[in-house]
Amino acid sequence: DAGITQSPRHKVTETGTPVTLRCHQTENHRYMYWYRQDPGHGLRLIHYSYGVKDTDKGEVSDGYSVSRSKTEDFLLTLESATSSQTSVYFCAISESSGRATDTQYFGPGTRLTVL
Amino acid sequence: SQQGEEDPQALSIQEGENATMNCSYKTSINNLQWYRQNSGRGLVHLILIRSNEREKHSGRLRVTLDTSKKSSSLLITASRAADTASYFCATGPGGSNYKLTFGKGTLLTVNP
């Protein structure tokens, strides 16, 4: 497995509570991504980063913010969690080069339940 | 919105049989990738095919790409129980360097 860890692996929280998920990589890859996976929707991109302090929105970014202060860490924050944010969250990394989108390597996932 | 759409949504076969999954997409792509996800785990990259390629092999995997029909197929030959997983196609659209768009996946069950 690529050196990607996610923490926590499981979390149960209450509506309105702030939540931060962490993704840590040891591969020194430039690109990092946060996805959520829900039944019937597949994998959807929340935010991604193309370098330290460089981030952009994906297709389902509302209610989420991200930060990347170091190459190895990419944080996903739910400022005020809602039940619709109950999901499995995956972090991924890639080292795109040139004009092609390269392989993405995924972390083990974080299962978040918002009550 | 989803770019790739896999077909069928679910497939059940016996060990030793071949499994074929299809992916259709809507806009131009730079490459198409297939990933596997075992239950409760993250996705694992299987194979990448570029827009100027028509077929690619990796072990028991064979991927084809038809850009005129905007479709791809993944063939797993001589399937094993360990191939039981969800399979996703992901497209890298032309002009983008770092984003993939994933389909909803095909759940493959290989019965021993």
Q: Given an 8 Å threshold on Cβ–Cβ distance, is B50 in contact with A100?
A: yes
- Among B33, B51, B89, B100, most A C-beta atoms within 10 A, so best to mutate, is B100
Instruction: Sketch the domain layout of chain A as residue ranges.
Output: 4-114
B1 lies within 8 A of chain A by CB: yes
Please give the pLDDT value at position A2: 65
Cis preceding-peptide flag for B112 (omega within 30 of 0): no
Residues listed for chain B: 112
- The nearest alpha carbon in chain B to A102 belongs to B98
Structural domain range at position B97:
5-111
Average pLDDT over residues A45-65: 93
Buried b (16+ CB within 10 A) or exposed e, B93-107: beeebbbbbbbbbbb
The answer to whether B106 touches B76, Cβ cutoff 8 Å, is: no
Cβ neighbours of B97 in A, within 8 Å = 96, 99-101
CATH code of the domain occupying A4-114: 2.60.40.10
pLDDT at B28 over 90: no
Total domains in the fold of chain B: 1
Model confidence at B54, pLDDT cuts 50, 70, 90, reads very high
B10 lies within 8 A of chain A by CB: no
